[in-house]
Structure 1
Amino acid sequence: MKFINTIKNIWKIEELKNRILVTLGLLLVYRFGAQVVLPGVDAAQLANLSSQTDGGLLGLLNAFTGGAFSNASVFALGIMPYISASIVVQLMGIAVPYLQKLQKEGESGRRRINQITRWLTIAITLVQGPGYIYNLFATLPSSAFLIESNVTFVVSSVIILATGTIFAMWLGEKITDKGIGNGISLLIMVGIIATLPQAFIQEFVSRVIESNGGAIMVLIELVIWFVIILASVMLVMAVRQIPVQYARRTASGGYEKNVFGSRQYIPLKLNASGVMPIIFAQAIMFIPAAVAGLSQSETAQGVTAAFSDIFGFWYNLVFALLIIIFTYFYTAITVPTNKMADDLKRSGGFIPGIRPGSETAEFLDRIMSQITLPGSIFLAMIAVFPAVIVSLLGVQQGWALFFGGTSLLIMVGVAIDTMQQVNSYLLNRHYDGLMKTGKNRKAVA
């Protein structure tokens, strides 16, 4: 009953209700587009493409796009070109003075960086599009293509794929502006969730119907799944509280003096970068196999095989290292310890035992480095857990993707971030938060 009351409270807030409806509507448009097949492709002959994406790197890409990749959809490339462009722009921001200048210009600089990212997204899509089309030629029979001229089909399809990616990017930005949650992350999460029921059904059939372990194995897997979800939630929510003391000015006998005010805390998150290191690392992991595939040498073929097996040792080792590196990188650019120290000094606050100013910034930076190391290692361990459970329990690869890895961490991180935004609306309107129970709060006059 209390949960139902909380849901009712959500719908009482007109702005929040409209934002939720806009978000659901735009997500529905994205899911509809994922089912629209490219013009000139016979949808009835896509079985070979679906079997190609049952596992491995292509299976993961298909999960990110919510099945659009195996459907030869207009959204087949999904939002990944935009993620790749964002990575390139942020990496260039470290070394390119022009981008560094834009980062310091506030809102106008952010808009300019977003525009650069959009143009780079188009460029990346125009490179990836022909590769996807030629993969269709190599996978599907010639009778699956209804346009006789290959040149016409390639040109038109690349333009459509680029348009689909830009449209998906626009949907994500509109969700962020007009809806609730981070739009780009929500598009990825919805695509992942779309493949969850089918993956579980395939695992259930394998275990129960085909007598490969029975129902008890399904129950054990579900228990492990919930434990991993709990661990992921703890990772996302864990914080290190730094005590802060504020000085309060009082007037006494014509003189002003400072007395100690209330003690508060600066919450430094164990995983301040959220799911972005996972997304960044996953985007980078597509590169080695793609580059090695251009060569026919034995070494290149070995690299292609190693980095196409997302459950293999070398893939997961490199993946884990990239996650740790990107966690440090993204934390460094999203947690401005110098600005935090300056704001603390201006507001009359200080960390007990630490001098305000540069020493406070160095202290915060040192604490962030200390908590980021275990956080990044834990994040990497959860990310590679699907490979562990496949080798130990023989779980179906499609179902194993949800036992940690990119899929689960994105779902947990995005779900918590969205719930926190809904929670803030409820608290601002004097209702109990989404993660709490109880009755309406009365406004304090």
Structure 2
Amino acid sequence: MSMSGVENLARLPELKKKLLWTFFLLFIYRIGVHVPVPGVDSIALADFFESAKNTLFGLFDMFSGGGLRNLSIFALGIMPYISASIILQLLQVVSPELARMQKEEGAEGRKKITQYTRYGTVLITVIQGFGIAVGLENMTSPTGAPVVIDPGWAFRLMTVITLTAGTVFLMWLGEQMTERGIGNGISMIIFAGIVAGFPRAVINTFQLLKAGELSVFVLVFMIALMVAVLVAIVFMERGQRRIPIQYAKRMVGRKMYGGQTTHLPLRVNTAGVIPPIFASSILLFPATIANFSQVEWLNTFSNMFRPQTILYNVVFVGLIVFFCFFYTAIIFDPKQIADNIRKQGGFIPGIRPGAKTREYIDKVLTRITLWGSLYISAVCVLPMVMIAQFNVPFYFGGTSLLIVVGVAMDFMSQIESYLISRQYEGLVQKGRIKGRR
């Protein structure tokens, strides 16, 4: 943001209020991450996570903002809500009733779907919470110390209630942040959790360097790779395909309207950071249950889906590509866009209005979405090679960088849009005052 933007920020109390709400709610979230679940030996749990930092536990701990490492009330993070959202969006494709509710009932229909998502979040949290409680009872630190002080049904019930209440409160916190603050509350919570882990990741990296487990050459190469990935993310997130739109001239009364040329911008990455978050959520749900279980076939399944394995990365890429196309299809309807262009008297040069325009937009969108999905897959999978070869912490992974950069760019763009809209309103008001005079 430029200096003029900062000066304008000081003159806009409404924007300052939204920013204060955002930071205040994020502060509450970070406090909750350090409130532990009763009945757990925190030292034994910390020793266990230190030995499992580059496994699925480490990845899940990253998305929970360190809540799983502390087994806090926010240990499950916001991932159950994301899982419930995925299920509801998939059901809209196969359920005509949910699709009609989303499209035809407007705000009331979306309110009902949001309510169903909340119910699904509670159900998923109860299942995951019970699985974690049972798994913790069978878990020991590398020194052999039990993680749970007094195992039994009392501990399981307390853990399920605590984790469910924490996730529901976190879901409410995200909704309040979206309504009262700036940006998407759920994305901001994930963003805050990842950023909060960066200092610990830097310290761990230098400890590896000091212990001789990481060479200076590898560290320099890792930093250079991070800068390159960061530049690539910013470049691709700003990339778009502009389809020219020509509007025909038409008479309205005695005035001539139309005749101008504009464009329809199609982003290379229309889905944003949603695909890697959804894909990670899908992979983490069954793998987390398996990791907390002592059943042999579940543990075999968990070992097959370790982040460093080929199978995990192949499935991860497949899910990213799928969700890129799926989420783009949900938020961008070529038929609706083509109809709006035709109703406004516009057309794409060389393309007939109506069905041909829809087919052309859909064809272009499919092509750029393919490249966008490959770009996201490359960013998310490339650092996995670094983790497997050089023991790099998860916080330097491509998924975390993609989320941090994507959410930060969206946050800044919303602030700039807010500033521009308020400046425009100010100009309109000045024009009206001058006109009256």
Normalising by structure 2, what TM-score?
A: 0.90
Tell whether 2:350 aligns with 1:353: yes
Give the match for residue 376 of structure 1: 373
Give the match for residue 206 of structure 2: 204
SS of the aligned residue for 2:279 comes to: helix
SS of the aligned residue for 2:35 comes to: coil
Where structure 2 has 5 or more consecutive residues not aligned to the other structure, the ranges are 432-437
Distance 1:132 1:115, change over 3 A: same
Tell whether 2:396 aligns with 1:402: yes
Give the match for residue 435 of structure 2: none
CA distance in 1, matches of 2:132, 2:265: 45
How is 1:85-164 mapped onto 2 (pairs within 5 angstroms)? 85-104=84-103, 105-140=105-140, 145=148, 148=150, 150-164=152-166
SS of the aligned residue for 1:69 comes to: helix
Distance 1:336 1:444, change over 3 A: farther
CA distance in 1, matches of 2:359, 2:179: 35
Give the match for residue 67 of structure 2: 68
Tell whether 2:307 aligns with 1:310: yes
CA contact (8 A) 1:311 1:386 kept: no
SS of the aligned residue for 1:265 comes to: strand
SS of the aligned residue for 1:384 comes to: helix
SS of the aligned residue for 1:92 comes to: helix
The percentage of counterpart residues that share the same residue type is 39
- C-alpha deviations, 1:61-117, integer Å up to 9, x for none? 001111100101011111110010001011111111221111112111100000000
CA distance in 2, matches of 1:112, 1:403: 36
1:334 deviates by 1.0
- C-alpha deviations, 1:125-149, integer Å up to 9, x for none? 1100011112221224777655x57
CA contact (8 A) 2:139 2:147 kept: no
1:43 deviates by 3.5
CA distance in 2, matches of 1:134, 1:52: 20
1:49 deviates by 3.7
SS of the aligned residue for 1:139 comes to: coil
1:373 deviates by 1.0
- C-alpha deviations, 1:172-214, integer Å up to 9, x for none? 011111100000011111111111111112112222x234565
CA contact (8 A) 2:239 2:268 kept: yes
CA distance in 2, matches of 1:403, 1:93: 32
Question: Partner letter of residue 408 of structure 1?
Answer: L
CA distance in 2, matches of 1:430, 1:259: 27
Question: Partner letter of residue 367 of structure 1?
Answer: V
Give the match for residue 183 of structure 2: 181
CA distance in 1, matches of 2:356, 2:217: 57
SS of the aligned residue for 2:244 comes to: strand
Give the match for residue 436 of structure 1: none
CA contact (8 A) 2:242 2:264 kept: yes
CA distance in 2, matches of 1:429, 1:162: 41
Normalising by structure 1, what TM-score?
A: 0.88
Question: Partner letter of residue 200 of structure 2?
Answer: Q
CA contact (8 A) 1:53 1:70 kept: no
> Which of the numbers 312, 319, 336 marks the counterpart of 2:333?
336
Give the match for residue 34 of structure 1: 33
Give the match for residue 224 of structure 1: 225
CA contact (8 A) 1:74 1:160 kept: yes
Question: Partner letter of residue 396 of structure 2?
Answer: F
Question: Partner letter of residue 190 of structure 1?
Answer: A
Distance 1:292 1:67, change over 3 A: closer
Distance 1:95 1:310, change over 3 A: same
How is 1:289-328 mapped onto 2 (pairs within 5 angstroms)? 289=287, 296=295, 301-307=299-305, 309-328=306-325
Root-mean-square deviation (CA), in Å?
A: 2.6
CA contact (8 A) 2:182 2:414 kept: yes
Question: Partner letter of residue 46 of structure 1?
Answer: L
CA distance in 2, matches of 1:76, 1:49: 15
CA distance in 2, matches of 1:121, 1:422: 30
**Structure with the higher helix share, 1 or 2:** 2
Number of positions where the alignment pairs a residue of Structure 1 with one of Structure 2: 425
Where structure 1 has 5 or more consecutive residues not aligned to the other structure, the ranges are 432-439
